[in-house]
Amino acid sequence: MKGSTVLSENILMGMSAVISFILIILVVRMVLTQQTERTYQNLFESIARDISLIIDRQASMSSSEKREYELPKGVHADVRIDYKYVFVTYDDKTVSKSYSGITNSPQAYEFSDPRILCFVKTQSTIQVFDKPCIEVQ
């Protein structure tokens, strides 16, 4: 009886060490995954914020101008510029940022995975194209 009790305690100690190790790995993995997802979301929020800032700057200017915005390489997202809001859709999620400038556009601008956006300010409107400003007349 005495030997079997020692063996059982050793087995329990070994199993508790294995379970503790597995739990530590799962907690570390969960923390890293949440941080990665939050960083990924911050990237798309900054894209939406950059676009809304460009629109606000151009709306405040009295002269005509063109401004390009290049999306970061390797980023795949859809961009929708609607009345007072910029929507950036990635995977199955959407982030939005508001702007206060007036685009005077009759409809929303929608771009599927653009590489570059060109913002053209004329006297009363801001137009958006998904090509370099050199190609825009």
Q: Which positions of the chain have pLDDT values less than 50?
A: none
Place of tokens 């700057």: 57
Whole-prediction pTM: 0.77
Q: What is the structure's pLDDT at 98?
A: 94
The CA-atom distances, in angstroms, between 35 and each of 21, 31, 119 are 21, 6, 33
Place of tokens 């409107």: 125
Q: What is the structure's pLDDT at 109?
A: 94
User: What residue segments make up the domains of the chain, in order of their start?
Assistant: 2-135
- For residue 74, is it left (φ>0), alpha (ψ between -120 and 50) or beta? left
Q: What is the structure's pLDDT at 7?
A: 60
Structure tokens at 92: 């199955």
3-state SS record for 67-95: EEEECCCCCCCEEEEECCEEEEEECCEEE
Cα–Cα distance, 82 to 23 (Å, whole number): 46
pLDDT tens per residue across span 44-78: 999 999 999 999 999 888 888 899 999 999 899 99
